[in-house]
Amino acid sequence: MAREATLARPLARPLLTRRAREVLTGYLYLLPVVIALGATVVVPIVRAIQMSLYRNVLIKPQEYGFIGLGNYARLLDDDVFWLSLWNSFYWVFGSVSLQFLGGFVAALLLHQSFQGRAAVRTLTLLPWIIPGVVVALIWEYLYQPNYGALNDLLARAGLMTDKVAWLSNPSLAMPAVIATNVWRGVPFFAIMLLAGLQAIADELYEAARVDGAGVLERFWHITLPMLRPIIVVATATRIIWTFNYADLIFVMTSGGPANATQITSTYTLLQAYSNLDFGYAATLSVVLLLIMLAFTLLYLRVTRGVEPVA
Amino acid sequence: MDERWRLSRRQILKGMAAAGALTTAELAWWDEPLIAPRRAWGAQPVRFQFSVPEPKRTALVESLAQRFNQSQKDFEVKVEFVPQAQARQKLITSIAAGTPPDVAQVWDNWVGEFDGMNAVEDLTPKVRDWSGYKDVLPLAWETVTVKKRILSFPWVVTNDGVYWRTDRAKEYGAKPPKDDWNFDDFLAYAKTMTKPDKNQYGFGMRGQGTWAVLYATEFMYANGAQVLGKDGKVAINSKEAAEALDWYLDLFRKHKVCPPSVPTDGWRGIVEGFGRGVTNSYIHNSGSSEEQKDFVKPENFATVPLPFGPAKKRSSFYFSETLTPFKAGKAREGGFKFMAWAMEPEPHFMYSKALGLLPARKTVAERPEFTRDPALAGFIKSFPFSIVSPYLAHAGWGGKLDSEGVPLFQQALVGRLTAREFLDKFAEVLSKNMS
C-alpha cells in the first residue's frame, strides 16, 4: 500500500504575537465594563462639564448659549456657595468621624462573645437598612420641638425647662442632622470593622500577651495596623458618600434655617430644580467632583492607601 | 312552598337594585361603583399628571377620569400620579425631554415658568368659545393669564384667611376675631391664646416654603406696601413694608406667641401644629379646612379674613390650582375636552368640595355647601379684597422666592438680618430676576 507523503507546511506567521494576543484578549474581556462605565460615568461627567460652560436656565430658553467660564466666575462671587462648602466640610467631618468612632466601639463590643450576639449584630444593622428618607422623617418627628419625643424625654428627665428647637435654631440644626447621620452610619463602620477584626489571627494577640503587651498596646500595635486597609477604604468611601448625600438634609431642613444646613449637594439640587438653572447646577457638580477627587487623592496619600504597612 | 315566600325574578332584581342603591348612598362620590358600560376600544389615550398630597385625592381623581372616560368614546384619560413634592421637577424634566403629559394639574405660579420654557399654548380663543367661560370668576382667569394669554383652566381657587380656635378663645377669655379686626386685635388674640405651660401658642407662623414670604407680604400690603411700584420697579423695600414686617417678625422674635419651630415650619408644620392643638391660629388657604374638621372638629374652629393694617388696608393673595395642557402633548384635543369636562358643574363641585377648595365657577361657588360652611366663611369674605399674588408678575421670581427669598426671610426670623436688611436683599433678588 502506497503511503501518502505528508508534506510539512510552514505555519503562517500570525498577525499578532502570542503576547500581543494575550494582552488584546484581556482588554476584550474588559470591553463590556469599559462601555458600561463609559456610558454611565464618563459620558455624564463630560456632559456636566459641557453644560457648565453654557447659560442654561430652563425657563429662559432664549438666553441659552455658550458663556465659557461665566458660571465659574459667578460661583466665586456666590456667598451661599462658599457657605455651603464650609457647611459640607462640617457635615462630612462631623458625620464620618463620629460614625467611625461609634462604629469602632460597636465592632469591638460585637467582637466579644456573649449570649444573643447574633441577634444584637442583626439589630445593629437596622439603622443602615432603613431608607434615608424614612430615617429623616423619623428623626424630624423626634426633634419636633412642640410634640417630639426628644424634648419630652429631656423635660421628663428634668434636663430641660424651655423647649429646644433642634432643627429650627441655626446653631443647633447642623449638629442635629449630623447626629441623625451618625445614627444611620454607625452600622456601616461597625460591620466593616467587625469583618476586619474577625480576620485578625488570635495567635498575634497571644504572642503579644506572652511578650507582656497590655490591652492598649495590643490594640495600638496589632488591631489598628491590621485594620488599616479596611479603615482607609471605609472612611474614603463614606466621605465621598456623605459629601454627596442630600436626602437627609433635604427632608429634615431643606438646607435651612437661613442656609445653616445648606451643603453643596442640596444647593446644587436647589439651583437645578428650584431655579431651573441647569448650567449653574452643572458648574456646582463639576466643582464638587474636583473637590472630591483632590480630597480623595490627598486622603489616600496621607493614609498611604491600602498597602500593608512595612 | 308557600307562595308568599316565593320571589319573582322582577322582585329579586328590584331588591338587588335597592341594595346597590343603599350601598352606594353610603359611599363617597368617588367611591361609587360605575354603572355605565365600558368605553369602546380604540380611544386615544390622554396622559394626565396629577400630584398627590394625600390619599383621598387619588381615589377622587381616578374616579373623575373614569367618569370622563365613560362619558365619551374618543379619548381615554390615564392618570399619572406623582408625589406632590416631585410634581414640578417631574414636569420640568419631561418638558425638557420633549415628553410632557397632555394635561397636568399645576399651581398657577408654575404656569409662567412653563410659558418661559415655551411649553404651553395660548388657549384664549378656545376658552372664550367654551360654554362656561363667563361663569368663571374673572379673578380666577387672571391667575392663569400670562402676557394677556390664557394658558390654563383655573380648576379650583382659594385665598388666604386665618384659622382660629373658637372653643379655646371662649375658655381663655380671648376677644374672638371679627371680620374687621386689625393688627392690634390680632396680637391681643395671639397673646391671650399663648400658654407655654400647656405647650400652646397663639399663632402658627410659617417659616419655610414660598408661602412663608407670601404671608409676610400680605401683612406688608396691609400697611400700604407694594411689591412693584407704579413705575414697574421693585418697591418691596419701602418704609411701610419694613414697618409691617418688623411687626410680623416680632410675633416670633419679641412677643413669643409662635412655637419655636417656626423657622422650619412649612405647610405641614402649620397645619399639624393647629391640628394637634399646639397653635391656636394660623394663616392658610381653605385647602386645610377639611383636614381640620377631622383633627379639631368643625365646632371648635372657624376662619376669618386677615386683619387690617395700620394703613386701614388688607389683602389676601388669591391663587388657583390649574389644569394646564402642554404644547408637546400628543392628545391636545382630548386634553382640552377633559379639562372642559372637569370644569362642568358636577365634577367641579365634587372636586372642590372634597378638598375644601373653592370652585372657580360662580354658579358652583354660590351653592350653600360653600357659602354656609363656617370653615370657609373667612375665605369667602376675603374675596372683595383678594388680589392675585404679586409674585406672579415675573416668571423668574417663582423659583427665586424659594431658593433665595425663603433663606433670607429665615435669617430675618432668627435675628441675623433686620426687616429692612432682608427687604433690601430681597428687592435685589427680585430686581435681578425680572423676566
Q: How many angstroms separate the CA atoms of A228 and A306, rounded?
A: 7
Q: Considering CB atoms only, which of B95, B116, B408 is closest to A60?
A: B116
Mutate to test the interface with A, among B82, B93, B256, B261 (most CBs of A within 10 A): B261
Bond before A257 cis per omega within 30 degrees: yes
Under the phi-then-psi rule, with left for phi > 0, alpha for psi from -120 to 50, and beta for the rest, what region is A123? alpha
Query: Taking all residues of chain A, what is their mean pLDDT, rounded to a whole number?
Result: 90
The SS3 assignment for B279 reads strand
Q: Considering CB atoms only, which of A61, A167, A274 is closest to B264?
A: A167
Is B367 within the bounds of a domain?
Answer: yes
Question: Does residue B375 sit in the same domain as residue B411?
Answer: no
Residue A12: pLDDT above 90? no
Q: Who's near B27: CB < 8 A, 6+ residues apart? A: none
Torsion of CA A116, A119, A124, A125, to 10 degrees: 160
Question: Does residue B298 sit in the same domain as residue B415?
Answer: yes
User: Which of the two residues, B22 and B93, has the higher pLDDT score?
Assistant: B93
Residue B190: pLDDT above 50? yes
Identify the bridge partners of residue B160 per DSSP, sorted by sequence position: B285
Q: CA torsion sign, B5 to B10 to B11 to B15?
A: positive
User: What is the tally of structural domains in chain B?
Assistant: 2
Question: Does residue B106 sit in the same domain as residue B247?
Answer: no
Q: How many angstroms separate the CA atoms of A11 and B407, rounded?
A: 78
Look at strands B44-52 and B103-107 and give their pairing.
parallel
| Position B48, amino acid | F
Which of A116-120, A132-136, B75-79, B348-352 shows the lowest per-residue confidence on average (mean pLDDT)?
A: A116-120
Q: How many angstroms separate the CA atoms of B144 and B343, rounded?
A: 15
Angle between helices A264-273 and A278-302 (to 10 degrees): 160
Mutate to test the interface with B, among A74, A276, A277, A284 (most CBs of B within 10 A): A276
Test A168 with B263 for CB contact under 8 angstroms.
yes
Question: Does residue B236 sit in the same domain as residue B87?
Answer: no
Q: Å from B278 to nearest chain A CA?
A: 7
Residue A310: pLDDT above 50? no
Contact between B158 and B287 (Cβ < 8 Å): yes
- Compare all CA atoms of chain A with the CA of B263 and give the residue at the minimum distance: A168
Q: Considering CB atoms only, which of B89, B273, B410 is closest to A273?
A: B89
Q: How many angstroms separate the CA atoms of B150 and B129, rounded?
A: 13
Res B11: pLDDT: 66
Res B37: pLDDT: 47
Assigned C-alpha cell, A50: 459641557
Reported as a single tens digit per residue, the pLDDT across B119-156 is 999 999 999 999 999 999 998 999 999 989 999 999 99
Full 3-state SS string of A282-299: HHHHHHHHHHHHHHHHHH
Res B56: pLDDT: 72
| Position A117, amino acid | R
Question: Does residue B97 sit in the same domain as residue B125?
Answer: yes
Q: Å from A19 to nearest chain B CA?
A: 48
Q: Considering CB atoms only, which of A60, A147, A276 is closest to B276?
A: A147
Is B287 within the bounds of a domain?
Answer: yes
φ, ψ (nearest 5 deg) of residue B40: -75, 160
Arithmetic mean of pLDDT, B417-429: 96
| Closest by CA position to B123, among listed B400, B322, B399, B300 | B322
| Closest by CA position to B404, among listed B261, B210, B227 | B210
Classified by CATH at the fold level, domain A77-302 comes out as MetI-like fold (1.10.3720)
| Closest by CA position to B62, among listed B43, B81, B37, B83 | B81
Question: Does residue B65 sit in the same domain as residue B193?
Answer: no
Is B49 within the bounds of a domain?
Answer: yes
Question: Does residue B144 sit in the same domain as residue B180?
Answer: no
Residue A165: pLDDT above 70? yes
Q: Considering CB atoms only, which of A145, A259, A275 is closest to B400?
A: A275
Residue B39, judged by CB atoms within 10 A of its CB (0-12, 13-18, 19+), counts as: middle
The CATH number for B375's domain is 3.40.190.10
- Compare all CA atoms of chain A with the CA of B264 and give the residue at the minimum distance: A168
Test A275 with B95 for CB contact under 8 angstroms.
no
Q: Å from B412 to nearest chain A CA?
A: 8
Res B322: pLDDT: 95
| Closest by CA position to B131, among listed B353, B380, B340 | B340
Reported as a single tens digit per residue, the pLDDT across A117-145 is 888 888 888 899 999 999 999 999 999 98
Test A146 with B208 for CB contact under 8 angstroms.
no
User: Which chain A residues touch B208 with a CB distance below 8 Å?
Assistant: 254, 256-257
CA B237 to centroid of chain Cα atoms:
27
Test B403 with A275 for CB contact under 8 angstroms.
yes
Question: Does residue B86 sit in the same domain as residue B223?
Answer: no
User: Which chain B residues touch A270 with a CB distance below 8 Å?
Assistant: 402-403
Is B254 within the bounds of a domain?
Answer: yes
Arithmetic mean of pLDDT, B418-432: 95
Residue A41: pLDDT above 70? yes
Q: How many angstroms separate the CA atoms of A129 and A188, rounded?
A: 10
Q: How many angstroms separate the CA atoms of A166 and A179, rounded?
A: 11
Test A163 with B416 for CB contact under 8 angstroms.
no
Test A145 with B117 for CB contact under 8 angstroms.
no
**pLDDT class of B20 with cuts at 50, 70, 90:** low
Arithmetic mean of pLDDT, B24-33: 51
Q: Å from A37 to nearest chain B CA?
A: 23
Domain boundaries along the sequence of chain A: 18-52, 77-302
Total residues belonging to chain A: 310
Res B53: pLDDT: 67
Test A144 with B261 for CB contact under 8 angstroms.
yes
Q: How many angstroms separate the CA atoms of A145 and A165, rounded?
A: 5
Question: Does residue B283 sit in the same domain as residue B341?
Answer: no
- Compare all CA atoms of chain B with the CA of A148 and give the residue at the minimum distance: B261
Q: Å from A83 to nearest chain B CA?
A: 13
Q: How many angstroms separate the CA atoms of B419 and B233, rounded?
A: 20
Which of A284-288, B95-99, B103-107 shows the lowest per-residue confidence on average (mean pLDDT)?
A: B95-99
**pLDDT class of B345 with cuts at 50, 70, 90:** very high
Is B9 within the bounds of a domain?
Answer: no
Q: How many angstroms separate the CA atoms of B289 and B282, rounded?
A: 12
User: Which of the two residues, B98 and B35, has the higher pLDDT score?
Assistant: B98
Test A147 with B278 for CB contact under 8 angstroms.
yes
Please give the residue range of the domain that contains residue B65. 42-158+319-386
User: Which chain B residues touch A59 with a CB distance below 8 Å?
Assistant: 113, 116-117, 395-396, 398-399, 435
Residue B40: pLDDT above 80? no
Q: How many interchain CB pairs under 8 A, A with B?
A: 105
Question: Does residue B355 sit in the same domain as residue B419?
Answer: no
Residue A309: pLDDT above 70? no
Residues from B in contact with A at Cβ < 8 Å = 88-89, 92, 95-96, 113, 116-118, 199, 207-208, 259-266, 273, 276, 278, 395-396, 398-400, 402-403, 406-408, 410-411, 413-414, 416, 435
**pLDDT class of B23 with cuts at 50, 70, 90:** low
Q: Is A154 on the interface with B (CB under 8 A)?
A: no
Test B399 with A257 for CB contact under 8 angstroms.
no
Reported as a single tens digit per residue, the pLDDT across A232-278 is 989 999 999 999 888 999 999 989 898 999 999 999 998 988 888 99
Question: Does residue B259 sit in the same domain as residue B309?
Answer: yes
Q: Å from A241 to nearest chain B CA?
A: 23
